[in-house]
Amino acid sequence: MYTTESKNEHLEDKNVQSSIIPQTLKGSNTSEHDKGEATDLSKTKETKPQFEKKSSCPPQGSLNKYITNGPEVLPGGNLFGLLIIFFSAIIGGKLLELIRIPSVPQLPPLLGMLLAGFTIRNVPYLSERIRVSNTWSLTLRNTALTIILIQAGLGLDSQALKHLKGVCLRLAMGPCLMEACATAVISHFLLNFPWQWGFLLGPPLSFVIGAVSPAVVIPSMLLLQENGYGIEKGIPTLLIAASSLDDILAITGFNTCFSIVFSSGSILNNVLASCRDILVGILIGAVLGIFVRYFPSEDQTRLPLKRAFLVVSMGVSAVLGSHQIGLHGAGELCILVLTFVAGMNWSKEKIRVQIIIKAVWDIFQPLLFGLVGSEVSVAALKSNVIGICVATISLALLVRISFTFTLMCFAGFNLKEKMFIALSWIPKATVQAVLGPLALETARISAPHLEPYSKDVMTVAFLAILFTAPNGALIIGILGPKVLTCHDPSKIKVELTNLEVH
């Protein structure tokens, strides 16, 4: 009994040992195999994150840490300030859109954006933590200026300009130049500008406050045109085309006089340098415009998107590059000529490009007006500055309105139509927002002794937007249906064939 049990136990031990030995051998083999697989997996694990860091769309690694934890995104940083100003301006514009008064046209959203930036600057707790450096602000405003110029260049219709002929040029150039001379004199007596600044900075100041805002005029005129008001004589088309030319003249005149004020040397040399910049801008713009006509070619896909990207990239490079190399004003004229020459060959495709550019402008518009509003500090204003600036703007507007009415007396319009055109030339916004802070930024960098005068220019630009944009929009919306003749838009072709041009 014992022997059999011992034998059985011995057999069981052998069986257990025999079963253990293959498992150990197998285990050793699998361990070696697992080690090989582990090393392979470790290699893949080590290489995989590296591959993801290189190709992943959301930034990772040090860039991600800089974006989320860097000094620029913390309170007081530039990126933090831009985000707060951007979203605050959007909210301000949306809130203003919600304010609707019966029988009163809607106020432009840009007014709410401007007030949002102004509020951020003048609230004690917010002003200490929301700041944007001058370099960032200047670069963004120049980029916004590029988008405005692209819209102006693409908005010029060569066929409409042929019909408009002299009346459009008179409406765009006459009031702006007359207001320039008037502002030079008014700024000397009311703002106590020296005569040198009265006639040198006076014209840039008037070009700043004298430019008509397409952001207010064009939507208002399109609404009147859709409802059939004034389309028989082409009044909406006239004001749309003239507003673009008015902005071009204002920006060109500002850059010319601005380079004279902040440049060293004699006035004659500065004038010749300004003429040189104008010629260089026109020449380069024409060459690039012809290039963009044919590149990219029409057989490519997503052609409007590629054209819009090419125009914007060229425009930003031209504007920023011209300021870096000292050719002030050349970049602005370059992008205007570029877009006008290129748009003449795009025909119907130009509308799609304009839609893309408008989407880009919808991003830069809150930034532009929010940054301009944040430049104005109530604490830095003198007690009598606001009243004097408002008086300067009012007197300049009276000169502009009177001269516009006089010019339209020889264009075949009746009394009511002449009054409407003259009063429609009031709204100011986009050009003032771009050019207003430019003198202040330049004075801070290169001429600190001129900073007090530059602050007055900035204040005048801010108040010009604040008072003329809403009032101009209300005047156009209320006065237009009352004084303009209404016709069926489907029966009248929207052009200036019936307008008497002299």
Which 3 state secondary structure label does DSSP give 486?
strand
pLDDT digits (tens, 9 = 90+) for 60-114: 777 676 666 667 777 878 889 999 999 999 999 999 888 877 767 778 888 899 9
Q: What is the pLDDT of residue 45?
A: 44
Q: What is the pLDDT of residue 4?
A: 46
Q: Which of 190-194, 234-238, 269-273 has the highest mean pLDDT?
A: 234-238
Percent of the chain with pLDDT over 90: 19
Q: Answer yes or no: is 213 within a domain.
A: yes
Domain count, the chain: 1
Contact residues for 70 (Cβ-Cβ < 8 A; gap 6+)? 77, 79
Q: Answer yes or no: is 453 within a domain.
A: yes
pLDDT digits (tens, 9 = 90+) for 420-463: 999 998 888 888 888 878 777 777 777 777 777 777 778 888 88
Neighbours of 203 (CB within 10 A): 25
Q: Answer yes or no: is 127 within a domain.
A: no
Q: Does 160 have pLDDT greater than 70?
A: no
Q: Which domain CATH number covers 260?
A: 1.20.1530.20
Local structure of residue 107 (DSSP, 8 states): P
Q: Answer yes or no: is 97 within a domain.
A: no
Neighbours of 319 (CB within 10 A): 21
Neighbours of 135 (CB within 10 A): 11
Q: Answer yes or no: is 112 within a domain.
A: no
Give the distance between the most distant pair of CA atoms in the chain: 138
| pTM of the predicted structure, to 2 decimals | 0.75
Nearest to 155, CA basis, from 225, 245, 287: 245
Q: Cα dist. 83→80, 178, 429 in Å?
A: 5, 40, 22
Q: pLDDT confidence of 497, banded at 50, 70, 90?
A: very low
Give me the domain span that covers residue 186: 138-369+377-483
Q: Answer yes or no: is 296 within a domain.
A: yes
Q: Answer yes or no: is 316 within a domain.
A: yes
Please give the Cα distance from 287 to 356 (Å, whole number). 23
Q: What is the pLDDT of residue 238?
A: 86
pLDDT digits (tens, 9 = 90+) for 213-248: 887 888 888 888 888 898 888 888 888 878 877 877
Neighbours of 337 (CB within 10 A): 21
pLDDT digits (tens, 9 = 90+) for 316-349: 999 889 888 877 778 888 988 999 899 888 877 7
Contact residues for 171 (Cβ-Cβ < 8 A; gap 6+)? 238, 239, 242, 246, 404, 407, 408, 421, 425
Q: Answer yes or no: is 20 within a domain.
A: no
The interaxial angle of helices 451-483 and 415-423, nearest 10 deg, is 150
Please give the Cα distance from 456 to 382 (Å, whole number). 10
Return the structure tokens found at 498: 């019936």
What's the average model confidence in pLDDT over 161-187?
A: 80
The interaxial angle of helices 349-374 and 134-155, nearest 10 deg, is 150
Return the structure tokens found at 410: 């020889």
Q: Using CB atoms within 10 A of its CB, is residue 335 exposed (0-12), middle (13-18) or buried (19+)?
A: buried
Q: pLDDT confidence of 48, banded at 50, 70, 90?
A: very low
Q: What is the pLDDT of residue 261?
A: 67
The interaxial angle of helices 202-210 and 430-446, nearest 10 deg, is 150
